[in-house]
């Protein structure tokens, strides 16, 4: 190979790596204007426009990740905790989760309280 070909290959590899590193550095969480965090649940507003006869109506619905339709409705985990903790002799409902940024890479533990909120143990 000629020196000019090696220079072009090196330049192409350099540019490819720069684009990759920039995309990795900017790959944070995106938050859109219509997504509202409610009690650690992501919710979005769905706009429904209907036409009946000559009347146009615009309806906005709040839809959350756990299936809630409004702010005042109980969520999935709130209903589950009410069902699970109805007896006083039940053990705590806990789950383990992955912690990749932890120093020892050990899993974390969260437990569901009686109000439907997750507590880190």
What percent of the chain shows pLDDT beyond 70?
72
15-48, pLDDT tens digit by residue? 898 888 777 666 655 555 555 555 556 667 778 8
- Considering the entire predicted model, what is its pTM? 0.41
Determine, yes or no, domain membership for 120: yes
Determine, yes or no, domain membership for 78: no
CB neighbour burial string for 81-97, b if at least 16 within 10 angstroms, e if fewer = beebbeeeeeeeeeeee
Tell me the C-alpha distance between 1 and 90, whole Å.
Answer: 74
The answer to whether residues 39 and 67 belong to one domain is yes
Determine, yes or no, domain membership for 5: yes
- pLDDT given for residue 37 in this prediction: 54
The answer to whether residues 19 and 38 belong to one domain is no
Determine, yes or no, domain membership for 114: yes
The answer to whether residues 67 and 96 belong to one domain is no
The answer to whether residues 46 and 69 belong to one domain is yes
Q: Residue 99 belongs to what domain range?
A: 88-121
- pLDDT given for residue 61 in this prediction: 75
């Amino acid at each position: 190979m000629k020196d000019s070909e090696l220079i072009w290959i090196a330049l192409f590899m350099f540019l490819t790596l720069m684009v990759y590193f920039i995309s990795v550095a900017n790959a944070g969480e995106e938050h859109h204007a219509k997504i509202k965090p409610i009690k650690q649940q992501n919710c979005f507003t769905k706009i429904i426009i209907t036409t009946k006869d000559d009347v146009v109506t615009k309806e906005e619905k709040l839809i959350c990740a756990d299936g809630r339709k409004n702010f005042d409705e109980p969520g999935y985990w709130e209903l589950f905790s009410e069902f699970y903790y109805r007896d006083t002799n039940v053990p705590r409902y806990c789950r383990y989760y992955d912690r990749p940024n932890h120093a020892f890479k050990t899993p974390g533990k969260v437990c569901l309280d009686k109000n439907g909120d997750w507590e880190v143990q």
